[in-house]
Amino acid sequence: MDGLPEHPSRSSRHVRRLLLSLTAAISATVLIGGCSSGSEATVPESSTRAVVPKATNDLQSDYETVIRNVLPSVVQIEAGDNLGSGIVYDGKGHVITNAHVIDQTKSFLVTVATGEEPLPAKLVSSYPQQDLAVIRLDRVPAGLKPARFGDSAAVEVGQIVLAMGSPLGLSSSVTQGIVSGLGRTVTESASGGGTGATIGNMVQTSAAINPGNSGGALVNLDSEVIGIPTLAATDPQLGNSAAPGIGFAIPVSMVKTVADQIIKTGKVTHSGRAALGITARTVLDDNYQPSGAAVVDVEPGGPADKAGLRPGDIITRVGSARITTITSLAEALASDNPGDTVRVAYTRQGERRTTNVTLGEI
């Protein structure tokens, strides 16, 4: 999973695979180049220069401009044994990153684009529920450049994006892709340093996201940060190895919401995330298969309490989403907003019931 602590042998193995793939690609190119007719061709000198279409030149120029504008705002973060990335948020030395990058660490070393020597930094606050955190440099170096943040509402599927960060410890790396999807709900693993958070409205991208990219920048061609790369999908059929071309970034709207509150008050006071106001656990059926989320406790005066839910009730559906586990319950709520009203189906002592719940806030 993206953002796991670096391991030298694993990093070498990843790099070696990339080099082997590159060598194979070069070999294939040579073989294809040799599959011409048997006669030797004489190539005019003037034709040896590659003619690059103007459109290609324009796109390359756009890439180069974005990299010049944004890469100086992307930093590398050393948090104990963890290595990740971050984005300079303002001119006061605040840097935003993923909560799983900093883990339980309170002090860090940050390498900024304007200097070779790592700078000390300290934690302002972490918000694991959304896998975001803000740290602050002890000293603001000359020339520190805050990033420019975009608008989540303007992000569209098909937009070209660049991912910037320190994958496998290779600082100031850039990969390219497109926005592959919007509004994805993803649950992190709680193992290996993950927060276990369920995060809604994520941006799916084909830009490569590797260990070390966590906390970096997903950027559009207007040089605006539109998200923070956080997770790479894994394929259960391939031993949970990374699924190429499927990565997820926290949308910029949530990034700004969390960062602004942490910088202003030192904590998140308004999550913007919907909640039923219960604690729950996964319940199994007679075949030992997950079959619902059993209510363990109800917040007095909270949304579920007002809607008549009680401890012992088993929630089986929220809106159109079938609920089998507490994870599926969290995922069903992730795309809703506080104040929304949802239809909740549940069973009480074997009897099927439904109720409308006006959602509260985490």
Residue 361, number of CB atoms within 10 A of its CB: 14
Which two three-digit tokens encode residue 1? 């999973």
Residue 351: strand pairing partners: 348
Residues 240 and 345: their CA atoms lie apart, in Å, by 33
Around 338, how many Cα atoms within 13 Å sit in the side-chain half-sphere? Answer: 10
Residue 304, number of CB atoms within 10 A of its CB: 25
Catalytic site residue from 85, 94, 100, 103 = 100
Residue 314: strand pairing partners: 294, 347
E-only strand ranges, 155-224: 160-165, 173-187, 198-205, 217-219
Residues 182 and 204: their CA atoms lie apart, in Å, by 6
Catalytic site residue from 2, 103, 131, 313 = 131
**Residue 144, Cα to own-chain centre: how many angstroms?**
24
Q: Is there a catalytic annotation at residue 100?
A: yes
10: left (phi over 0), alpha (psi -120 to 50) or beta: alpha
Catalytic site residue from 11, 214, 223, 253 = 214
Contact residues for 1 (Cβ-Cβ < 8 A; gap 6+): 188, 189, 192, 194, 211, 231, 232, 234
Q: Is there a catalytic annotation at residue 214?
A: yes
E-only strand ranges, 98-158: 107-111, 119-127, 132-137
Question: Hey, what long-range contacts does 23-29 have (CB within 8 A, 24 or more apart)?
Answer: none
Residues 16 and 333: their CA atoms lie apart, in Å, by 41
Residue 114, number of CB atoms within 10 A of its CB: 14
Q: Which residues are known catalytic residues?
A: 100, 131, 214
